[in-house]
Amino acid sequence: MVTAILWGFVQGLTEFLPVSSSAHLILVPALLGMDEPDLATTAVLHIGTLLALVWYYRRELVGLVTAPRSPHNRRLWMLLVVGTIPAAIIGLTLRSPIEIIFSDPWIVAVCLVITGVVLLVAHRLTAGTRTVDDGTVSDALVVGLAQAIALIPGISRSGMTMTAGLAQGMSREESARLTFLLGIPAIAGAGGIEMMDVIDKGGFGWDLLVGTAVAGVTGYFAVSIFIKLIGRRGLLSYAIYCLIFGAAAYFLV
């Protein structure tokens, strides 16, 4: 139970901050001398963070369902569908090889350092004024490809997609908004695939429900605070964290 709560906290806190939840779920147990969370744990924790995002953006999601033909919602549907395609294709075809090749802790630590470098570049980018309502097919493809790159453990999904959004001239707040909305199908897809594997192997223990609740509550507060702060503080602090933690983990694991 305590271990499930720990992984729930780690997953909820790091899923939405640009510091790579996959890196933390590999490096934290490696540094603590613990076993990595098993497939059942990661599958259920994904459900918690998915519910956190759905609840945070519940009004926007209701609008997408109830008024899909409005100009705003049609544009948003286009961005979500097109932006999800690259990661979906790569994830379905290369998921297992990627996990096998890049799952060693030292490789994950290097990838986390790479995330830090990317965030430094993103912090230096001049924030634009474009919004999600200005989004185009090319914007969706660029952000979607960035999300696909983040299938590599240690590469932050939110960090890559926010950087892509900023490079396309979006404001920090709108880049974060698009990032998290795209995260809903991405997390649902990853969690769904893992959950099917878990069901095939006999399910999971009920103690994970507590970890899921922790992941959901922690994730909700993490995304809420991040959205409020990103416009004023940018990505520098997250870049420094990734560089320091990644470098330290490289030498310690």
How far apart CA 246 and CA 252 sit, in angstroms, is: 10
List, for residues 161-201, the tens digit of each pLDDT value. 999 999 999 999 999 999 999 999 988 877 776 666 666 65
What's the CA gap between 7 and 18, in Å, rounded? 17
% residues pLDDT > 90 (the chain): 63
Q: What is the pLDDT at residue 206? A: 67
- pLDDT of res. 39: 65
> What's the rounded Cα separation, in Å, for the pair 243 and 253?
15
Residue spans per domain, the chain: 2-252
Q: Per-residue pLDDT for 202 more than 60?
A: no
For residue 210 the two structure tokens come to 């507590």
Angle formed by the axes of helices 157-167 and 137-149, to 10°? 150
Residue 28 has pLDDT above 90, yes or no: yes
Which pLDDT does position 198 carry in this prediction? 61
pLDDT, average across residues 118-128: 90
pTM: 0.90
